[in-house]
Amino acid sequence: MLRVTGAERFLIDPETERDGELFVVDGLVAEGAPDDAEVLDASGCVVTPGLVNAHHHLLQTAFRTLPGTRGVAMRDWLPTMAAAYAAAGVDAELAGIAASVGVAEALLSGVTTVADHHLTWPPGADSVAIAHATADAARALGGRLVFVRGSARDDPQEAAASAEAIVQSFTADVPGGLSPDGMLQLAVGPAGVHSDSRETFELLGEVAARHGLRRRTQANEQVDVEIAREKYGRRPIELLDEWGWLAPDVTLAHLCAVTTDEIARLAEAAVTATHAPGCDLPMGWGIAPVAALRDAGIAVGLGTSGGGSNDAGHLLADARLALQVAPLVGRPLAAREVLGMATEGSALGLGRSELGHLRPGGAGDLCVWDVSGAADAGVADPVAGLLWANPGRRPKHVVVAGRVVVRDYELVSADERELVGALRRRVGR
Ligand SMILES: [Zn+2]
């Protein structure tokens, strides 16, 4: 039980703000709390819902700023990353270590839920062990994880068998793809039509249908559009439609080069979207027309994508970038719109209506941002200031399901330096 007091402002959701106190009981936002509830002092701070990173590749946390991976076409980037994975040897140990560091970085920057689109499954690797190592890492730190059994040129039958085995291995804990405590969710998702065949989309779709899992893929980055044209003479959205992947349970990440007609088609199919400007902009892979997507009624979330293209899992920094770039691709976005994308927008794409807001009954996931320092002085609107002012800010405290997981800028249940040391020993960086 938690009683958060003294905040300058509570941002309940993008439309609702108030002052006073906020209570979390049994992991959920409540109208009140018993007198013996733990008190979390938020004086001089703004409290927001925990951020939801709707698109990450946690493994890439071990592969940042590698030579030959910055600002290059995806055709050149993919083999360079593949060579680095092969050199390091991707197994459950590395997946677990990378996930520990990635989830630690997430929590320390205010991200309480991470969707990990895991795409690297070397032949012979124990995929069930990789999934469990990733899930264990997130659970140990107190972060929520959505583990997506991805595929990138995997054999379709093997990918589907592995996805099925992963689901079966968690079945006791994760009925219907979601653990009862909401800490672990399972999903499936090919990397995109540029890498995976119709068979992979269909077979992973069958696993999803059997177990009630969400589906995710990536669409309409530069290389995706090019390869769809070369291989099929078609656009990625047309292929996804034909392959049964334009549906309300599907989230499409990136969506850079989409036409007005395609946006209408996506809206009609009720798919959700994930904007990932921190990956697409620096790499030159395109910019999603976010305002047009939103104005068409599509729920848009925010994701960082992985360390191989972004180098940071700091979602608030990418929210700021989304704000800054929006006027170049449509209309300016308001800070509250983008905060809404980074919270409730992402949560909707995960099918998680309890996440991303602080309305009563919602998940008790929140961030306490100190706005009393010099970088926030003179700010007229402290909520807008979360994005516009103080780039790279980190939350002072972070709460997940009512548990304090970051206190005074430090992880509560792990030593950050030990996690980093384990990664350094494993990959030499
Ligand atoms: Zn991505």
Mean pLDDT in the chain?
Answer: 96
C-alpha to C-alpha distance for 225 and 243, rounded to whole angstroms: 16
Distance (Å, whole) CA 322 – CA 72? 21
- CA-closest candidate to residue 133, choices 157, 166, 105, 107: 166
pLDDT for residue 282: 87
Q: From ligand 1's centre to the CA of 366, what distance in Å?
A: 25
Positive or negative, the CA dihedral 330, 336, 338, 344 is: negative
Å from CA of 217 to ligand 1 middle: 9
Range 168-172 contact pairs with CB under 8 angstroms and sequence separation of 24 or more: 169/128, 169/131, 169/132, 170/131, 170/135
Residues 161-213 have pLDDT tens digits of 999 999 999 976 677 799 999 999 999 999 999 999 999 999 999 999 999 99
Q: What is the CATH number of domain 2-49+358-411?
A: 2.30.40.10
CATH node for 51-349? 3.20.20.140
Domain ranges of the chain: 2-49+358-411, 51-349
List b or e across 355-391, with b for residues whose CB sees 16 or more CB atoms inside 10 angstroms.
bbbbeeebbbbbbbbbbeeeebeeeeebbbbbbebbe
Are 2-49+358-411 and 51-349 in the same CATH fold? no
Ligand 1 mean position, distance from CA 57 (Å): 7
Amino acid at 418: E
Dump the DSSP string for 28-54. Answer: EEES---TTSEEEE-TTEEEEEPEEEE
DSSP state of 278: H
The pLDDT tens digits along the chain (429 residues) read: 999 999 999 999 999 999 999 999 999 999 999 999 999 999 999 999 999 999 999 999 999 999 999 888 888 998 999 999 999 999 999 999 999 999 999 999 999 999 999 999 998 899 999 999 999 999 999 999 999 999 999 999 999 999 999 999 997 667 779 999 999 999 999 999 999 999 999 999 999 999 999 999 999 988 899 999 999 999 999 999 999 999 999 999 999 999 999 999 999 999 999 999 999 998 888 899 999 999 999 999 999 999 888 899 999 999 999 999 999 999 999 999 999 999 999 999 999 999 999 999 999 999 999 999 999 999 999 999 999 999 999 999 999 999 999 999 999 999 999 999 999 999 998
Instruction: Pick the closest to residue 279 from 51, 12, 56, 25 (CA basis).
Output: 56
User: Ligand 1 mean position to 275 CA, how many Å?
Assistant: 10
Q: Write the DSSP symbol of residue 343.
A: I
How far does the centroid of ligand 1 lie from the alpha carbon of residue 72, in Å? 15
The token pair that represents 157 in the structure block: 């039958």
pTM of the model: 0.97
CA of 10 to the centre of ligand 1 (A): 32
Model confidence over 98-114: pLDDT tens digits? 999 999 999 999 999 99
Distance 326 CA to ligand 1 centre (A): 19
